[in-house]
Structure 1
Amino acid sequence: MESNNYLKKIQEKILKVFHSTTSDIVKSNFGDIVGIAFPIAGITLNIVNDIATNYNLYKLTYLLNNISTGNDLEKDLEKLLKYVEKSDENAINVANLFRKTINAECPKVCAMYGMILGKHIKENDCFSQNELIICRALVNATELDLINFKLIMENYIDSSSSDNTISIPEDVDNYESITSTRDWCLYNRIFVSNIALKVDDNGSGTFYNDYHITEPAKLLMKYITALPPANN
């Protein structure tokens, strides 16, 4: 099957960039090492590997199915091969995205990785800093984080402010869950925070954290809203 040939060539290009004699030795002897040190682990290693491998393939399928909006996977893989062969940087970025896909918490993230990769295959260009930021952030995003993030962007951005201030009412349903996602965004450079001073009518001041969206936040929202219906 031609698709398998393209995948094999993509793998060969990536492995050529990352080839390490030391890593090959460790990989080839890993099972024996574990079996010697932990006999029970050695017995179950193949079972665990089989489960992990199938789960990884399941998530990678989401990426591959979202590289384009068409149904010609073989053609998409041919374009991906040309993309990784263009430069070592492209090969590294694709390998990095595959690794992030395998480590991702939910299928929607894998689908978005496919959309991001598909954009670059089509335009034959490099990843922007904002894209690298959201790709790194998404690897530990949960399904609920994506839902809450979309909720924040659609409902809790102060449109009257010039700096896109985030304002989440404390009496809103699921306040703790939403603010947890806000903190996830802050940690991953999707939102930024400043220390602000609020002065009441009596002249007393209170310091508080002022949250704002960034360009990566706008880009992430763009990809979330562009997800095909099957991934929503």
Structure 2
Amino acid sequence: SSSAKVWIYPTNYPLREYQLKISEAALFRNTLVCLPTGLGKTFIASVIMYNFYRWYPSGKIVFMAPTKPLVAQQIEACYKVMGIPQAHMAELTSTAAKQRQEVWRAKRVFFLTPQVMVNDLSRDTCPAQQVKCVVIDEAHKALGNHAYCQVIRQLASQTKHFRILALSATPGGDTKQSVQSVISNLLISHIELRSEESPDIQAHSHQRSVEKMVVPLGETLSAYQTKDLRSLSKYQLILARDQFRKNPP
């Protein structure tokens, strides 16, 4: 349709050239975006989500984050940037399984953990054929049989027509092999990588003063330092945990 020939970029925020370039690239290719913390990964995700929301009036847009607090944080951020109507958005991390099918039917933009997404795909609660855009936060976790990997495998087995945007400040740890695994597991075909030294980033990155503080363990924890924790029974570990919760340092 003619609407797909046009994509929208917000003008209610100061223009950052790198965000504009990354957004344009990510609209048309499965992209891994590697940006230092605080430089606008969520902003880019919001732009991509809004355009797919606009291009596919009956499509579903999914934003996955590994924990419930991160999910809640991203909902607010995405709403502020692009203004997708809140009536069309849903957070599924706290919704009972029986109710989620109706939410999937009625809403268009979903924020959830990958575990919930795996469950809903497995039960056919999520209409996989209607999913048009998947955003994956903390994408470096997509290794082995992580829930992120399961989601993409299940989606890809049912439809080929969806875009993937993967976000990470640290893609795959320190090894080339783990980075390649993330790329393969998430069907990535394009990478947008910036560091704090990148020319188009420097104007927007702030100098940080890092002070290393070494905190001594104290008597209680020092006693465990000489023990092999593997030798403790499950009961001993649970008991130690409960005691720690009752009397935190």
Q: State TM-score, norm by structure 2.
A: 0.22
Q: Quick check: which one's strand share is greater?
A: 2
Largest Rg, 1 or 2: 1
Structure with higher RCO (Cα < 8 A, 6+ apart): 2
Q: Quick check: which one's helix share is greater?
A: 1
